[in-house]
Amino acid sequence: MAGLAAAGPGIPQDMPLHLIKLCVGAESVEDLDQWIRERLAVQAAAGLDPEQTHTTRMIPKRAPEIVDGGSLYWVIKGQVQVRQRILAIRPFKDGDGIERCDLVLEPELVRTAFQPRRPFQGWRYLEAKDAPADILRRRGDDGMPAELRRELQELCLI
């Protein structure tokens, strides 16, 4: 019972908690992937251990639930399209003394079913029951344009 209370009322322990955030500046999943690869390459060239992080101002109070299997779901062009597993949440103070945190992310992107989302600021918690399903890779769908994938999904063809 104590574990259930830590997860929140009515939330089973085995269901991870996720975060959802707008992916500002990315036009597509491919654009986000390229940005990630470039940042990792710059870190490696500088002799650092490559690590993908996203810095945010608000520190999640439910961090233990998130790092226990949660992901960051990215909204690109008004649709959830992809997620990244959250490996760690590291709070810190920036140079101005403002508390922030780094979300340490698995650099691999996992495409999800499209799910429309209106604009919002910052991040939000996303319960596992509300998260879009992963898209399983099928033969021949590599490189399918996102707009075509969305249209086929709306027609229930994928």
Residue range 16-136, CATH number: 2.30.130
Cβ neighbours for 11, distance < 8 A, ≥ 6 positions apart: 4, 17, 65, 127
The answer to whether 20 and 80 are in contact (CB under 8 A) is: yes
Question: Would you give the distance in Å from CA 62 to the centre of its chain?
Answer: 16
In this prediction, residue 15 has a pLDDT band, given cuts at 50, 70 and 90, of confident
Residue 32 phi/psi, 5-degree rounding, is -60, -45
Model confidence over 22-43: pLDDT tens digits? 999 999 999 999 999 999 999 9
pTM above 0.75, yes or no: yes
The mean pLDDT of 112-139, rounded to a whole number, is 90
